[in-house]
């Protein structure tokens, strides 16, 4: 079961406000984003942490083993809170909203980029530069690996979707050929 948009926004807003008050909003947003994407990439991890049969203490131990020393104590506590609340499947979405809030604070907008493979830092930087030029304001890319995309990228900035995927290009070609 996933949360409604209002509740996800509520989680993100609460986490952001506390992190901002502690001066760590950007760090927490970045860390949660990486953790959320890791959850997305590992259905086994997500299912384990979402399993209501596994005691909360065991889930906390798993989170501690995975994140200990790699994320701030605040971020680890946030992940434990979300998992203990039975919302492990929503972690990536909550993290995405948190990243959006952090970007807005810096006058940036976020772009959700679906890619069939992980992108290196240099590629992400070039992508952000190109999207910044197109959007007319600074863009921070949130890259999500989606193996269902055969090639290319699908990018969402606000309500605008740019489908540069292989499937999107083939669909466009088919529509063009059918119209002739």
pLDDT per residue as tens, the chain (180 positions): 455 788 888 999 999 999 999 999 999 998 998 898 888 888 899 999 999 999 999 999 999 999 988 999 999 999 999 999 999 999 989 998 898 899 888 888 989 999 999 899 999 999 999 999 888 889 989 888 888 888 889 998 888 888 888 887 888 888 888 887
Residues 146, 113: Cα–Cα separation, whole Å: 9
Q: Which pLDDT score, from 0 to 100, does residue 3 have?
A: 57
- Please state which CATH class domain 1-106 belongs to: mainly alpha
Burial class (CB in 10 A: 0-12, 13-18, 19+), 53: exposed
Angle, in degrees to the nearest 10, between helices 25-41 and 43-50: 100
- Compute CA 157 distance to the chain's CA centroid, rounded to the nearest angstrom: 13
Q: Which residues of 75-92 are buried (b: 16+ CB within 10 A; e: fewer)?
A: bbebbbebbeeebbbbbb
3-state secondary structure of 131: helix
Pairing mode of beta strands 154-157, 109-115: antiparallel
The residues, any chain, with a CB within 8 Å of residue 84's CB and separated by 6 or more, are 56, 59, 60
Burial class (CB in 10 A: 0-12, 13-18, 19+), 3: middle
Beta carbons of 52 and 88 less than 8 angstroms apart: no
Q: Which pLDDT score, from 0 to 100, does residue 1 have?
A: 47
Domain chopping of the chain, boundaries: 1-106, 108-180
Distances in Å between the Cα of 143 and the Cα atoms of 2, 99, 120, 153, 168 are 21, 12, 10, 10, 18
Q: Which pLDDT score, from 0 to 100, does residue 150 have?
A: 82
How many residues are listed for the chain in this entry?
Answer: 180
Helix H or strand E segment including 140: strand 139-145
Q: Which pLDDT score, from 0 to 100, does residue 16 have?
A: 94
Q: Which pLDDT score, from 0 to 100, does residue 149 have?
A: 86
């Amino acid at each position: 079961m996933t949360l409604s948009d209002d509740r996800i926004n509520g989680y993100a807003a609460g986490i952001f406000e506390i992190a901002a008050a502690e001066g760590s909003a950007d760090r927490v947003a970045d860390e949660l984003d990486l953790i959320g994407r890791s959850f997305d990439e590992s259905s086994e991890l997500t299912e384990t942490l979402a399993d209501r049969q596994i005691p909360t203490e065991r889930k906390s131990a798993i989170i501690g083993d995975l994140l200990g020393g790699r994320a701030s104590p605040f971020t680890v506590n946030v992940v434990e809170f979300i998992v203990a609340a039975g919302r492990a499947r929503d972690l990536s979405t909550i993290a995405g909203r948190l990243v959006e809030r952090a970007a807005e604070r810096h006058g940036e907008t976020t772009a959700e980029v679906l890619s069939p493979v992980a992108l290196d830092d240099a590629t992400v930087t070039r992508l952000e530069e190109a999207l910044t030029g197109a959007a007319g304001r600074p863009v921070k890319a949130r890259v999500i690996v989606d193996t269902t995309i055969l090639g290319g990228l699908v990018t969402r900035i606000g309500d605008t979707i740019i489908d540069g995927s292989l499937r999107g290009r083939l669909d466009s070609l088919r529509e063009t050929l059918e119209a002739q």
